[in-house]
Chain A
Amino acid sequence: MIPRYQTILFIVLLVASVAMGGVLWHLRERAHQRLVAGQDSAPTQAPAVAPAEQATLVVANDDDNSLLRQAQSLPLPQDPGERARAILGRLLDLYAAPGSGHPVAGGANSVAQVFLLPVPAQNPEPGAESGNSNASSAMPGAGPKPAAPNPTDSVPSDTRPLLAVVNLTGAFAAGHPSGIETETLTVLSLCGTLHANLPRVTQVRFLVDGQTRATLAGHADLTRTYLATDDVAQP
């Protein structure tokens, strides 16, 4: 004869097991729905730890080969490098969104880092290829190199022109559509956006996974130093 308390305990445990199974099933369904929703490549939200500020994005459009300025409000960190990365991330989120006029997959995570460095003493000619200069050697961690006196040394440090080194991810370059127009627009919109928000940035170089790369997706030359001027942002 089974004691009464054991019967009650058994029934309680059985009900608890069934209830836990139901909860687990419900949680599994919710996780599944969340994963499915994640495939929409929804733009990543910047962490709202900083107050929202106005930023100017130079947005490309493949249909008319144009670059147009667009004001956006987003939280921006104080560190200039992180600030530049957040702004470029918002720009690439626009390109990754459905219905974009310049469709490029990847989104905000495509910009791994942005380094801001003083413009080297040996400035390239305007629009000219930068020769044998190696941007990766100027990245943090590389030792200081003996160099000729910099003509900008006499300029106050807060007004010196800056070189932005944008380190893109390999996945972004691999997934970028191939074509002169689309690649050129991507490069020019990144340069224009950097200069519009950080006017001291006058030159831009690109790395992919920390390495120099010949082209973005088969066309636009990534071995040269690009000049970021107001003209770049003109349509």
Chain B
Amino acid sequence: MRSIDSVPMRAPLMVALAAVVAAAGLRAGSVAAQQAPPAPPSRFVVVLDAAHGGDDPGGRLTGGLQEKAFTLALSVRLRSLLAARGIQVVTTRESDSTVDPNRRADIANHANAQACLSLHATESGSGVHLYASSLASAEPTRFAAFKTAQAAWVTRSLALAGVVNSSLLRAGLSVSLGRTALLAVDSMTCPAVAVEIAPKSPPDRATGSPPLADLDDPDYQAQIAEALAAALLEWRTEAREP
């Protein structure tokens, strides 16, 4: 009786034990399987900050175009290009809304981005103006002042500016590099560059003739967006290299 009764009792126990062992083995196997191949690609996020917006129209451009509209259009176009290349994009605004400079930096900082581009436009000068923060480079600290948080990232920002500069030059655009003080950029904790788009060539002040390609030229806009997307792809490749 005892042996007969004990057989059905032991069978489920053995099955359960076998299941636990098998599960443990599978788990161990899966861990090993995860460790075997190279590390999965790290998350690469780009923040696009379309400057101005809402109550802040920014500068007035050719044909009554406002800077806030131009930067938003460029941001949308660039976001599409980057998304098509598998890059995750976070934008500071998607519509004609007012966004405080501190809020822009807040969005960028929470995104843990590998690149932050602040997009601007102007009628002054020509080509594309690239600006990194003029803050002095500083060692990263656990707690940093919000208004100078970019100081720990200045070196990386200058490297990013160099990559963007190369890409724009390859696209046949004239580029100027500089450093400046911008409220939003100075608070960002990511490699950050302000990209200011100007007409392709300066107007001839003597004759008053218009510039070669103006800001409302779709081809010019597309050329810049493609060059910026290529730069960010290159930056992603550099970021993944050991």
Contacts and interface: CB of A to CB of B under 8 A. Distances in A.
Interface of A: 62-65, 99, 125-129, 131, 177-182, 184, 214-215, 217-221, 223-224, 226
A218 B67 CA distance: 11
A193 to B, nearest CB: 18
A178 B60 contact: yes
Contacts of B148: 125, 128-129
Contact of B59 (A127, A179, A214, A220): A179
Interface of B is mostly: loop
Contact of B125 (A179, A221, A224): A179
B202 A184 contact: no
A234 to B, nearest CB: 12
User: Which 5 interchain pairs have the tightest Cβ spacing?
Assistant: A179-B122, A178-B59, A221-B181, A182-B124, A65-B176
Given A62-B125, A65-B125, A181 B196 contact: yes
B135 interface: yes
Interface string B183-199: 10010000000101010
B126 to A, nearest CB: 7
B123 A127 contact: no
B111 to A, nearest CB: 23
Interface string B126-168: 1001010011101000000101100100000000000000000
Question: Which among B124, B145, B194, B205 has the highest number of chain A CB atoms within 10 Å?
Answer: B124
B180 A220 contact: yes
7 contacts: A99-B205, A129-B148, A177-B123, A178-B67, A218-B67, A219-B120, A223-B183
A129 B205 contact: no
Interface residues of B, number: 35
A140 B18 CA distance: 87
Contacts of A62: 124-125, 202
A178 B67 CA distance: 9
Question: Which among A99, A184, A226 has the highest number of chain B CB atoms within 10 Å?
Answer: A184
A129 B135 contact: yes
Contact of A180 (B145, B182, B205): B182
Interface string B67-80: 10000000000000
Question: Which among A126, A181, A218, A224 has the highest number of chain B CB atoms within 10 Å?
Answer: A181
Interface in B190-230: 194, 196, 198, 202, 205-206
B120 A63 contact: no
Given A131-B147, A177-B122, 13 more contacts: A65-B176, A99-B205, A128-B135, A129-B186, A131-B145, A177-B123, A179-B120, A179-B122, A214-B183, A218-B59, A220-B180, A220-B182, A223-B183
A179 B123 contact: yes
Interface of A is mostly: loop
Contacts of A64: 176
Contacts of A127: 134-136
A178 B194 CA distance: 15
A128 B151 contact: yes
A218 B52 contact: yes
A180 B176 contact: no
Nearest to A184: B180
Nearest to B121: A179
Contacts of B202: 62-63
A214 to B, nearest CB: 7
B126 A63 contact: yes
B92 to A, nearest CB: 16
A181 B182 contact: no
A133 to B, nearest CB: 12
Contacts of A219: 120, 180, 182
A63 B206 CA distance: 14
B122 A181 contact: yes
B106 interface: no
B178 A65 contact: yes
Contacts of B123: 177, 179
A224 B151 CA distance: 14
Contacts of B59: 177-179, 217-218
